[in-house]
Every structure is written in structure tokens, then in C-alpha cells.
Amino acid sequence: MSTTDDAPECSRAGCRLPASWRIDWRNPRIHAADRTKTWVACDEHVDYLREFLAARDFPVQAHPLNPVGDVA
């Protein structure tokens, strides 16, 4: 998920663009409400990844990715 300089890369398969979004999601069939997973996305793929998860009825939220060292 990271480049050599530790900048996060988009989680979309085959994409190596820098991520600018954080996508928090969970599969309610196997995860408790307090357990979430996180993908990161570039501007080009944030909608694709969010819609991919929403189509499966997974709770999903997309937020701008905070710069390194910035507390959410």
C-alpha cells in the first residue's frame, strides 16, 4: 500500500497513484460494529471503491486522508 517514501497508494488493484481519501468500512456479517477496515483511494477511484462496498450493503464512509502526523 505504500511507495518507497511511505506515501500511501490507492487500494484499487493496479493503481499506484497517491491516495487522498480514506474509506472506512466493515462487513456486518463478520465484523462487530466497533470493527472497521480501511482502504485508501486516489481521487479517480474513491467513488468506485465506495460504490463497490455500498453495493454489498457494507457500511462505508469516505473522508479526506489526513496528512502524515495529523490526528483524525
Q: Which pLDDT score, from 0 to 100, does residue 56 have?
A: 97
Which element (helix H / strand E) includes 48? helix 46-54
| pLDDT above 80 for 5 | no
Instruction: Name the DSSP letter for residue 61.
Output: E
According to the model, what pLDDT value does residue 19 have? 97
pLDDT digits (tens, 9 = 90+) for 18-66: 999 999 999 999 989 899 999 999 999 999 999 999 999 999 999 999 8
CA separation for the pair 7, 19 (Å, rounded):
8
- pLDDT of 69: 54
pLDDT for the residue 7: 80
Distance (Å, whole) CA 61 – CA 53:
10
- How confident is the model at residue 6, as a pLDDT? 78
